[in-house]
Amino acid sequence: MPLDRKIGYVDLSTGNIEIKPIPLEIRKKFLGGRGLDAYLLYNHTKKGVDPLGPDNVLLFSGGILTATCASATARTHVMAKSPLTGLLGSANMGGFFAPELAWAGFHHIVIKGKARKPVYLWIHNGEIEIRDAKNIWGRTVTDSQWAIRDELGDEEVKCAVCGPAGENLVRFANVMTGIKNSAGRTGMGCVMGSKNLKALAARGTMDIKIAHPTEALEFNKRFIDQIVSAKVNQTQGTLGTPFIWGATNSWGGIRCRNFQLNQCEYADDIEPERLDEIATETIGPYHMTGCFGCQVHCRAQYRIPSGPYAGRYDEGPEYTSQGAFGGEPDCKNAVTVLTGNHLVDQFGMDNLETGSLISWAMELYELGILTQKETDGLDLRFGNDEALLEMIERICYRKGWLGDTLADGGIPASEKIGKNSFDYLIQVKGMSNLHSDERATPALALGIATGSRGSDHLRSRPAIDLYHLPEEVLRKIYGTPVPYDGPLSSEHTAYEGKPWQVFWQENCYMGVDCLGICKYHTTFLGATLPNFEDWSRVLYYNTGLEMTPREIWDVAERCYNIERLFNLREGLKRDNPKKGDTLNHRYFDEPCKLGAPDVVGRTIDREKFQKMIDEYYEHHGWDSDGVPLPETLKRLGLENEPSHLL
């Protein structure tokens, strides 16, 4: 049964390994994946723990449905205290690692301590072994994985690794699996590096018994039909996620030149259709590839067509790389975007953070806050493709004053640079924003301001707010499984009803993160895609666990509140510009300059924004400072946390 998967506890300092079952009562409260990880993090760390110290706990997990008959259950979750923000560190990636971990007998791995020398974990059919990684340390992401497979003599081994950026303690280093699957954001690869942990390698051949296999397969077929018939997924299966950037840039909803412009003009060379012309690599007959159990196949395969990295294979780029290495630095060359994407994949660095910090530094350079003294002679102006790519490598290897400074993240860098550099840093809770511009979309602005891990487009974004759906359709979506009779608006520039949409999407995304399902298979970009009603059935058919849609909602709300408790314990304050639920002043003070008529001139209204925060807190059952009320904790069964039950 999926419920038979275990937790493995590994102490790298002592070498002690312990394996435990997951009690059913814990499953019913947190399910698995991100939700159970949040419980484990809150219970296994103390207030003020050093993110790079041995007492920080690093967690790897799959969702409760991982490796079952449920569609697109490939997601791997990684959690620890973040070395980038000092708050919740949380990242999620696709690929094949989590299913292999489940076939090896585990849903969660809890890692404490620090190894005296580089090591990796070998996880195989119910056993965990700590192995020497001295011959793997220093290698790139893909080379590391092949070296481990060669050592173990099995090409089917799946690995989660940190690249050179993690080894060098770049505070936004990723955990990676495969070519480009990235547990990006919040620096989980940096935590691996701090523990001298190069990789987790998994290989499993253990059966997973499905509770009701006939019903599970029949329901999954309907599930798949629903997913592949959605136009948004058909588009992704053709152009990949770059179609999102293309549409958003045309409208005027992206960041260009850090935050000076909201549209990247004359950028035909990095539009999705142009990238699709270049990305012509195939595996067999397929141009697009995907993750375990997924029918969408949302990423392309390519070889860099020219330049010093010509011929190098990679996958993507995602629309995040279009923004990070195209729009934000105003570099409009497809080869630059493809090369930047390849470098961060090999180094194991968060593309969003990397591109945003370099673009921030470019604005500081053009303002004279940074000079060629700080850049070691590099002409760091916007549109300088060579300087952009050079800075990616400098950050990874901490080369030069600026490379070393940016490797520590935006807030520490702003304190080191001084002057008024922090004013130009587009961040929330110490994490750089996505390349999008939310001044014309209050709901999306609220989502990034309140995200539990910092500025975020994957934890609460009501992207369908841009579709102008009729109110009756919005009520059908946002009125289940919990009734809602408050205001809702089809207008994306409105403020009314948006706090409920953000609150609902938080619970939706937390739900899929606990189950292990990809967000593209739920109400993220597609209004007709599965949500709570479907999850109740797919959970029962695969695991035998009977939970109503409302009970799954309660699990999601419970898990989100335990993330909130962790952040509050680590210093979160509502209006703190560095550790709060707020936005950079430019959202309020600088109007959008370009784009469609419903974008030009837009800012976020300060007073209305604060009222949205108040209403959002009320939906959560939090006080005016964002602290969960005693009755909220009691309702969710969190009044005794940390409970140390597991």
Question: How does pLDDT run across 11-27, given as a tens digit for each residue?
Answer: 999 999 999 999 999 99
pLDDT at 282: 65
Q: Predicted confidence band at 277 (pLDDT cuts at 50, 70, 90)?
A: confident
Strand order in the sheet with 158-161: 127-132, 119-124, 197-203, 158-161, 175-177, 181-183
Annotate 386-436 with three-state secondary structure: HHHHHHHHHHHCCCHHHHHHHCCCHHHHHHHHCCCHHHHCCEECCEECCCE
pLDDT cut 70: percent of the chain above it: 99
When pLDDT is cut at 50, 70 and 90, the band that residue 460 belongs to is very high
Rounded to an integer, the average pLDDT of 571-580 is: 97
> 514 and 559 in contact (C-beta within 8 Å)?
yes
Whether 350 shows a pLDDT value over 70: the answer reads yes
pLDDT per residue over 617-630, tens digit each?
999 999 999 999 99
Position 290 scores a pLDDT of: 87
Determine the average pLDDT of the residues in 381-393.
98
CB atoms within 10 A of CB 231: 10
Q: How long, in residues, is the chain? A: 646
CA distances from 108 to 6, 34, 134, 453, 538 (A): 7, 10, 26, 20, 21
Inter-residue contact 32 to 62 (CB < 8 Å): yes
**Mean pLDDT across the stretch 444-449?**
98
- Give the pLDDT mean for 467-477: 95
CA pair distance 340, 325, nearest whole angstrom: 6
Model pTM? 0.97
- The β-bridge partners of 201 are 122, 159
Assigned CATH for 254-432: 1.10.569.10
b/e map of 310-322 (b: 16 or more CB within 10 Å)?
Answer: eebebbbbbbbbb
30 in Cβ contact with 516 (< 8 Å)? no
Place of tokens 């190098």: 312
177-219 pLDDT tens trace: 999 999 999 999 999 999 999 999 999 999 999 999 999 999 9
What pLDDT, on the 0 to 100 scale, is given for residue 229? 83
Strands (E), 204-270: none
Band the pLDDT of 285: cuts 50, 70, 90.
low
Amino acid letter, residue 140: T
Q: Would you identify the CATH topology of the domain 442-635?
A: 1.10.599
Q: Looking at residue 521, what is its pLDDT?
A: 85
The percent of residues above 90 in pLDDT, for the chain, comes to 88
- Position 481 pLDDT exceeds 90: yes
Tell me where in the chain the CATH 1.10.599.10 domain(s) lie.
442-635
Overall average pLDDT of the 333-346 stretch: 97
pLDDT band at residue 224 using 50, 70 and 90 as cut-offs: confident
So what's the pLDDT on residue 283? 62
Categorize the per-residue pLDDT at 468 as very low, low, confident or very high, splitting at 50, 70 and 90. Answer: very high
Q: How far apart are CA 160 and CA 91, in angstroms?
A: 13
Within the chain, all domains assigned CATH 1.10.569.10 are found at: 254-432
Give the pLDDT confidence score for residue 632 in this predicted structure. 98
Q: In the chain, where does the domain assigned CATH 3.60.9.10 lie?
A: 2-203
Mean pLDDT of 611-615: 98
So what's the pLDDT on residue 47?
Answer: 98
Which one-letter amino acid corresponds to residue 58? L
**pLDDT band for position 545 (cuts 50, 70, 90):** very high
> What value does the mean pLDDT take over residues 570-575?
97
Q: Which amino acid is present at 214?
A: T
Does pLDDT of 554 surpass 60? Answer: yes
Number of other CB atoms surrounding residue 556 within 10 Å: 27
Q: Is CATH 3.90.950.20 the right assignment for the domain spanning 2-203? A: no
